[in-house]
Amino acid sequence: MTQPDQVRGAENQSAQERLRKELLISGLYDWVPLVQVESVITRADLAETLPAQQDLALQTIRSLVEDGLMEIGDLPNPGEKFRGWDLSIDAAMARVYDRFVQHYDDPTLWEFTIWLGLTETGTRLARKLEDKTATAE
């Protein structure tokens, strides 16, 4: 018999995989602001409560960065290449947590101040995912 925690874990895993895929493919076309991460979660109904949405966003961002697929950084000036923050993953995630969770009620601190950009490895994977999505449709 499946336990409730196992079901919840499986649902969260599929939600995280869906979010990862969406963010990776979006990253092929532009840098991804944190507000878009939240929008995907809300639009696709990937988590019910605000804390669950925030947790999903943080876990997914961390997994993308740890897997070397995306970097967290600031929006570059026109003509510049995206550069991730020069921080450890833990320090970068602490900054994201502070702005996105601790200061959620002030969206000016997080909506367009935290960006995700694809790495070369992330770009290759995103192209494969996009091709699979196009073939499946």
Average pLDDT of the chain, as a whole number:
91
Backbone angles phi, psi at 82, to 5 degrees: -65, 130
pLDDT above 50 for 27:
yes
The mean per-residue pLDDT over the stretch 81-104 comes to: 97
Query: Is residue 46 included in any domain, yes or no?
Result: yes
Query: Is residue 19 included in any domain, yes or no?
Result: yes
CATH number (domain holding residue 101):
1.10.10
Query: Is residue 137 included in any domain, yes or no?
Result: no
The mean per-residue pLDDT over the stretch 10-24 comes to: 85
pTM over 0.85: yes
Domain span including residue 58: 4-130
Between CA 123 and CA 31, with CA 125 as vertex, the angle to 5 degrees is 35
pLDDT above 80 for 5:
no
Query: Is residue 106 included in any domain, yes or no?
Result: yes
Residue 135, pLDDT score = 79
pLDDT above 50 for 7:
no
Query: Is residue 91 included in any domain, yes or no?
Result: yes
Give the least confident one: 5-14, 19-28, 51-60: 5-14
Query: pLDDT tens for residues 33-79?
Result: 999 999 999 999 999 999 999 999 999 999 999 999 999 999 988 88
What total number of domains does the chain contain? 1
